[in-house]
Amino acid sequence: MKYKPVIGLEIHAELKTKTKMFCDSLNDPDEKHPNINVCPICLSHPGTLPVINYEAVKKVIMAGLALNCKIAEDTFFERKNYFYPDLPKGYQITQYQKPLCQNGFLEIPNPKSQITNNDQNSKSKKKIRITRIHLEEDAGRLYHESGYSLVDYNRAGVPLMELVTEPDFETGLEVKKFAEELQLILRYLGVSDADMEKGLMRVEVNISLTGNDGKWGTKVEIKNLNSIKSASDSVDYEIKRQTELIEAGEKVIQETRGWDDSKKATISQRSKEEAHDYRYFPEPDLPPLKFTLAQIEAIKDGLLELPSQRRIRFAKYGLTDAQIEIFTMARHLGDYYEHVASELVASAKDFHIKKGLKGDFPNEPHLERRLHELSANYIITEFPTLMNAKGLEIDDLEGFKISPEAFAELMVLIFHKELSSTGAKAVLKEMAETGFHPEQIIKEKNLGQVSDEGEIEMVVDKVIANNVQAVEDYKKGKEASFKFLIGMVMRESKGRANPQVVEELLRKKLSI
């Protein structure tokens, strides 16, 4: 590429707090009734005074610590003055000179190295520097109808964090990886629900191209992006658009563009306006903020596990990167898997004792690993259908009837071929209905796999007698006919015959 893209992000996230930033009106993004979570403070009636919501301050510090930032030991709020109908005060309380958090970074998988999140090699990571994270209050919402506009102040005064990155991104994919990881971190920490469709997380892109002469090109801003995919697509589109303009000898105009999802294109919204003079000054109604190092350390010690730490932990089970990613994104499913994993060895031991089997299993690491893999596969492939049938969301395990203990027992039975895969699915379905343990269901429904040669032989003989043509074809060398015969035996046994025994018996009988 002749031109190097220079891309930075500005991301706003509404904090998950009980009340607003400076008053005790509720912070409820799901409130549908307009202008209900309001009071004289957030509507800035004369004579009212704001009070700082400590929970919001703490949450921004938590985000800053998780993103490797330096936390300010002392800082203060400022007024940003401007007039707009969604801003009842006529100014926004924000931080300008001294943000709460500065100089952090977040590592994303480096797309150039083709390596995923779970690779711990530092070369496979790209560091995106974070310039600052500050705390401010959100504005209200305008609804434009034909001929008039409506305003809803429920959101006015809701705590908002603003994160600004250095211009370290070069592709849409990098923007996507960063936004996804940030979203996951904010959710893990309980800082924000970070749902972009609901406007709880809002991403803005700054993008320009640098030529061979090293000169920065004209910067374009992209706003009104309502999903991570739109953000990433708009970046790729804009790189192409600006490259084509430059190559055609035209100029990139400094402007704000929006994203049209149906056209898959950025569209001009407004060209550069006069620079605003916001007349920032320290908020006179609020005291400065001061923290001791001990206070910041205490917040750090209280941080919950981060996605990156969880991936390292899950890698120890020997799962694939894709499986680890699913268990990192769907946290309850991942927790369920871990509970199963902790039961597998005990279940395998019980099975050995019950069956009077010899040997030290499961004290063999590779067998334990295979049990882990088997369990992860079954959870990831079978649970979505089971949960869907119960009307549950994929990560909503409350009300899900299969206990991790019973699930571990089932895995051991499958592992020891006590069940065919068809039988296993039938048992699993029944477990989801009743919550019973697998052995009980197998006994009641007669679902166990048949490995007894005598019993299977009877079925095999019947199938051979009824399928003369297929037998002849096989003897002439048509391997597909053999598969057909296996299928017929399996069908005849209602899927319960052990396929390995079936294959052995068939081969033996047909080679005579």
Point out which residues bind Zn ion (CB under 5 A): 23, 25, 39, 41-42
Q: Which is nearer to Zn ion, 132 or 155 (CB)?
A: 155
Please say which residue, 99 or 157, places its beta carbon nearer to Zn ion. Answer: 157
Residue 157 or 217: which CB sits closer to Zn ion?
157
Q: How many CA atoms lie within 13 A of 115 on its CB side?
A: 14
Confirm if 451 and 499 have CB atoms less than 8 A apart.
no
- Minimum distance between the CB of residue 247 and Zn ion, rounded to whole angstroms? 53
Question: Least distance to Zn ion from the beta carbon of 42, Å?
Answer: 3
Which residues fall within 8 angstroms of residue 129, CB to CB, at 6 or more apart? 103, 104, 105, 165, 166, 168
Number of Cβ within 10 Å of residue 463's Cβ equals 24
- Nearer residue to Zn ion within complex by CB, 39 or 346: 39
Dihedral sign computed on CA atoms, order 91, 92, 93, 95: negative
Sign of CA dihedral 172, 174, 180, 186: negative
Minimum CB separation of residue 374 from Zn ion in Å reads 54
CB of 264 to Zn ion, least distance (A): 41
Residue number, 42 or 63, with CB nearest to Zn ion: 42
Q: Which is nearer to Zn ion, 88 or 167 (CB)?
A: 88
CA neighbor of 315 nearest in space, from 258, 372, 267, 266: 372
> What is the strand order of the sheet 70-71 is part of?
70-71, 101-109, 125-137, 159-165, 4-14, 201-210, 220-225, 255-260, 265-271
Closest to Zn ion by CB, 57 vs 470, is: 57
Q: How far is CA 431 from the centre of its chain?
A: 28
CA distances from 253 to 207, 238, 502 (A): 12, 12, 73
Shortest gap between Cβ of 173 and Zn ion (angstroms)?
41
Backbone angles phi, psi at 118, to 5 degrees: -90, 0
* Helices marked H in 124-265: 172-189, 228-247
Nearest to 154 by CA among 71, 42, 298: 42
CB of 99 to Zn ion, least distance (A): 24
CB of 89 to Zn ion, least distance (A): 11
Task: Give the nearer residue to Zn ion in terms of CB position, either 48 or 226.
Answer: 48
Q: What is the b/e burial string over 182-198, where b = at least 16 CB atoms within 10 angstroms of the residue's CB? A: bbbbbbbbebbbbebee
CA distance 454 to 40: 85
Cα gap 328→314, rounded to integer Å = 9
Residues 6+ apart with CB under 8 A from 275: none
Of residues 23 and 57, the one with the C-beta less far from Zn ion? 23
Question: To the nearest whole angstrom, how small is the minimum distance from the Cβ of residue 154 to Zn ion?
Answer: 10
| Min separation Cβ 177 and Zn ion, Å | 37
